Amino acid sequence: MSLLPEKTVERLSQYRRTLLKIPAQEKLYIYSHEIAAILHFTPVQVRRDLMLIGCTGSQRKGYDIANLIKLIGEIIDSKNGQNVALIGVGNLGRAIMRYLNKKNSNLRIVAAFDINPDKVNRELAGVNCHHIDDLLEILKREKITIGVICVPADQALPVADSLVKSGVKGILNFTTATLNVSDEVFLEEYDMITSLEKVAYFSKKR
């Protein structure tokens, strides 16, 4: 299968989370318009996404929920899972560690990094926290492929450079700093202020 569009991968993740909330004993099949209504998409968009991954539903029954969950997992997830490092163990960093390690067994935060001596060499939210100076060594030792950056904005660029040098192939940036990385690394930047200002703008218009 060729590389899927980014937005399609985002929606597939949302489809799976939605389907996993449906008790198996209550519902075995679901129509595209039902998925669309829950997530505020169009049925056409849902059908297009599912056709891209080779999934076709029945006009009489819709999509087999269990099979659809399995198929999305085979496409999105890695066969043996992926190890994740989190850099910056403030309130946001801890919240991400607690949430992710409970919600997704395929993505495991196996190491955290900080410079605060009160946090280093301790277990925080079930994850060992190391000093940032040990980043390269531990990322290679733990075969970490994804880095999550939650440091102050002025520290984000050197952290990203260190992640790239260590061989990390994906970065999720929660800071307001704009990063430039090699084309060999997939970068996702989440700017909370921009998202909040977008919400404020559209709420004002209503």
- Separation CA 164–CA 181 (nearest Å): 8
Segment 171-182, tens digit of pLDDT: 999 999 999 998
- Separation CA 104–CA 190 (nearest Å): 19
Segment 118-176, tens digit of pLDDT: 999 999 988 999 999 999 999 999 999 999 999 999 999 999 999 999 999 999 999 99
151 in the same domain as 136? yes
Residue 66's domain comprises: 6-75
Q: What is the pTM of this model?
A: 0.88
133 in the same domain as 149? yes
Picking from 15, 42, 75, the residue at the C-terminal end of a domain is: 75
Domains: count for the chain: 2
- Separation CA 136–CA 113 (nearest Å): 11
- Separation CA 164–CA 180 (nearest Å): 11
34 in the same domain as 133? no
CA 199 to chain centre: 22
Residue 200 lies in a domain: no
Segment 53-86, tens digit of pLDDT: 999 888 899 999 999 999 999 999 988 889 999 9
